[in-house]
Structure 1
Amino acid sequence: MFTSVLIILCGVFGVETDVMKKVFVTEGDDVTLHTGVSIMKDDVQILWMFGRKNPDTLIAEIYKLKIYIFDGHVSVMKGKLQMDSQTGSLIIRNISSVHSGLYKAQIINTTTKYRRFNFTVYAPVSLPVIASSSVVSVCQTSDCQKYPASCIDPDESFSCEVCAVMCSADNGADVSLSWFKNNERLNQTSSPDRNISLSLSLEIQERNNNTYYCVAANPVNNLTTQLNFQEHCPQHTS
């Protein structure tokens, strides 16, 4: 450890710092954080540091082509870390949310360079579930003129048969729930409260050739459930 500190102090006379790179990944993935080194040489030293708010804990090192893993320094890293002997890149196996944080590679030769990563791990989103409920509501005259197929008796009560559906999905970090018509987003919801599920309603007044689907998404993945008119809007299938 003393050798590593000494080399760091001697190497900082020429410092190059890279911009922080944001990395979004899904739980369970294996991820490689690249150093940008094409091939390791005997006189190159790379230190990998980690921290939730400040990357100040040494977790891995390669020096004189020998790899040292210090996963005991951070309990959540135990058994998760590897290093690429050719490039010094850090490999994290089967990641989970506890591995979110800041990572820094310190690359020391005649100068010192840094590679910095802001690393966020997301749980997979759940598949949206669509539930249907047929309702009858009072329509305006203009509605019956616009949607004549949905009007039960346009000459008298102007009642319309409306397909009302509700889409639901589990909530999570940065999860949003949206209804789409073809490629157009109709509405969207999200909530910072992880203890509640997300729900979003939609009403369709008449059958048409558009495709409606509900999407649950976060920054790294999304799942889609398409509205089935035969199942969810039987009053519109005749």
Structure 2
Amino acid sequence: MPIRIRCASILLMFCGVFGGELDETETILVMKGDSVSLHTGLGEVNREMQIMWMFGPEKANTLIAEIHSMIVSIYDSYEELKDRVQMSQRTGSLTIRNTSISHSGLYEAQIMTTVTAFKRFHVIVHAPVSFPVIENSSLVSDCQMDDGGFPCAVLCSAENGPGVSLSWYKDGERLNQTSGPDLNFPLSVLLEIKERSKDVYQCVAANPISNKTTPFSFQEHCPQHTDSSRFCGSTEIAIRLVVSMLMGVATVALVIYDVRSGGGVNEVFQC
């Protein structure tokens, strides 16, 4: 055996006995409700081995399973894992069934023979993201000139959660994004559109293991864009104003004529 390899092996054994400072922690992402298996990396357990699985949300300090002299023991020391833990008698690997958010944390296998080796896992359980909901935030009036403002504004919202982000996309390009550390409040992001176009807008909720998309619809969320008769340009507004003024002048002239001819004002408005 080359010297450098022998020295490295001795160093790893030394680190294992005194805490395994050089061991890396493997991060595993899991969908809520799925099962996850944490492997010891052993081909087969023998009678001389003892393997203890420890767990904790922040520090692996609670014994949850053990194999010693080929006998597997599962402990109820952590209530959230009760009846969900299995340990392989052949390899010592640990399986958590029907995972929940509370199963996120640090798992550590202490593999003891003549030396002690460690396998560490950081398990993060994510719930599937919810479908984003798009609602009208504000709409222009039925007849409004384009003065540089936004004719349509829509708000997209989704449930918050660990690692969840909410984004608006236009033709596959992200326009904006939001996320928040306070999981008690939903996420919301605003989209403002000046004019109807062929661009494809989508609101996307995502976390590291799932994503869901809600498409934006001009027909549904900006109906004034789909009916040109409801959106007035400056020429149409001017015409409407002139018509209103003429109607007002005609009404006044009618009233004056009726009064001069001896009729009463009240009679003019009788129907």
Fold shared by both chains (TM-score > 0.5): yes
**Structure 2 partner of 1:121:** 125
**What TM-score comes out, normalization by structure 2 length?**
0.68
Cα separation, partners in 2 of 1:136 and 1:83, compared to 1, 3 Å = same
Q: Distance in 1 between matches of 2:56 and 2:74?
A: 16
1:60 aligns with 2:49: no
Task: Give 1:14 shift.
Answer: 7.2
Q: Distance in 2 between matches of 1:13 and 1:232?
A: 65
Structure 2: 5+ residue runs without aligned partners?
Answer: 1-12, 228-271
Structure 2 residue matching 1:73: 3-state secondary structure: coil
**Bigger radius of gyration among the two:** 2
| Contact 2:139/2:222 (<8 A) preserved | no
Task: Give 1:198 shift.
Answer: 1.5
Q: Which has the higher helix share?
A: 2
**What TM-score comes out, normalization by structure 1 length?**
0.77
| Contact 1:122/1:220 (<8 A) preserved | yes
Task: Give 1:123 shift.
Answer: 2.6
Q: Distance in 1 between matches of 2:28 and 2:148?
A: 53
Task: Give 1:124 shift.
Answer: 2.4
Q: Percent identity?
A: 52
Alignment of 1:88-167 (within 5 A): 88-132=92-136, 135-136=139-140, 158=147, 162-167=151-156
**Structure 2 partner of 1:225:** 214
Alignment of 1:37-52 (within 5 A): 37-52=42-57
Q: Distance in 1 between matches of 2:99 and 2:135?
A: 34
**Structure 2 partner of 1:200:** 189
User: Which structure is richer in relative contact order (CA contacts within 8 A, separation 6 or more)?
Assistant: 1
Aligned Cα root-mean-square deviation (Å): 2.6
| Contact 1:161/1:235 (<8 A) preserved | no
Letter in 2 for 1:117: F
Query: Could you give the per-residue CA deviations for residues 89-114 of structure 1, whole angstroms, max 9, x where no partner exists?
Result: 11111122222221101122343221
Query: Could you give the per-residue CA deviations for residues 126-146 of structure 1, whole angstroms, max 9, x where no partner exists?
Result: 110011356339xxxxxxxxx
Query: Could you give the per-residue CA deviations for residues 66-117 of structure 1, whole angstroms, max 9, x where no partner exists?
Result: 21111x2222221111012332111111122222221101122343221111
| Contact 2:100/2:125 (<8 A) preserved | yes
Q: Distance in 2 between matches of 1:44 and 1:52?
A: 27
Query: Could you give the per-residue CA deviations for residues 49-75 of structure 1, whole angstroms, max 9, x where no partner exists?
Result: 1122321221111233321111x2222
**Structure 2 partner of 1:23:** 28
Alignment of 1:70-89 (within 5 A): 70=75, 72-89=76-93
Moved over 4 A (4+): 157-161
Q: Which has the higher strand share?
A: 1
Query: Could you give the per-residue CA deviations for residues 35-62 of structure 1, whole angstroms, max 9, x where no partner exists?
Result: 1123333333221011223212211112
Task: Give 1:13 shift.
Answer: 6.1
